[in-house]
Amino acid sequence: MASIFEKINTLISANMHAMVDRALETNSVAVMDEYIRQAERDLKELEESTAQVGGTVRTLKRKYEEFASSAEKLDRDIDTLILKGKDDLAGAAQSELNSKQQLAQEYYEQWQSQEKQYQTMLDMRMKLEGRLTTIRQEREHLRSLIELAEAKKITNKTIKSLDKLASNTDKDISGLAESIRQRLDNEDARLEMATENLKDQIDAAVRSGEVERQLDERRRRLLGAQGDGGGQAASSGGSSSASESS
């Protein structure tokens, strides 16, 4: 998985100005064609991997919801058993609940971790598709530019960069060169704003003490309920005795 991430990230961050300069230097768009072919191959691989991760996300979510629902029902049953004085059954049910809650927590953490990776992959796909669209468009502009430069024969030297091309006196050529450079600058700016550190988005989930906290709350609630019940019973018994004495 890391391999495809690295390849996609390399394509996304490719220096398109250098690619255009190389095409101008060779009077050929072959370097751009190679980029397009590589990007199309990696995009297909990314889409297949994304589909697999997306399926895993759905499975983990379903498993988590199943265990969470089962634990919630068992949680209510334990309260009933404790209030009925069936401590042995309540203890066995509590052990089962602990197991279900632990499994639910593990599925939840895996689900969240895979969900982050899934969203990262979707984000990478969107950025690569945008990069592909841009390079395809600029390929056509560049091809026309090279043909125009050759037709006008403005120079007998090899065109080495957009900077040299833009310095020519021919207004049509320099205008096209500047237009290409401006579009590439805009694309780089958009990508810079949209891109975050992809590796930082694939974080490992940290296990918390949620199960222990819930058990502590249960103990306080149930023991408090028992204390209140005992106090009310004692008060009622005292009132009855006083009534009989009178």
* Per-residue pLDDT tens listing for the chain (246 residues): 657 778 888 888 888 888 888 887 888 888 889 999 999 999 999 999 999 999 999 999 999 999 999 999 999 998 988 888 888 888 999 999 999 999 999 999 999 999 999 998 999 899 899 889 888 988 888 888 777 766 655 444 444 555 555 555 455 556 666 676 676 666 666 656 655 444 444 343 334 445 556 667 777 788 876 666 555 544 444 444 444 443
Output the pLDDT for position 134: 87
Q: What is residue 66's predicted lDDT score, i.e. its pLDDT? A: 94
Q: Are 165 and 177 in contact (CB under 8 A)?
A: yes
DSSP string, 55-97: HHHHHHHHHHHHHHHHHHHHHHHHHHHHHTT-HHHHHHHHHHH
Q: pLDDT at position 2, please? A: 58
The class level of CATH for 2-216 reads mainly alpha
Question: Residue 213 is encoded by which pair of tokens?
Answer: 């906290």
pLDDT of residue 65: 94
Query: Is the pTM for the entire model greater than 0.75?
Result: no
Burial track 99-118 (b if 16+ CB lie within 10 A, e otherwise): ebbebbbbbbbbbbbbbbbb
* Distance separating alpha carbons of residues 120 and 53, to the nearest angstrom: 11
**Where do the structural domains in the chain lie, given as residue ranges?**
2-216
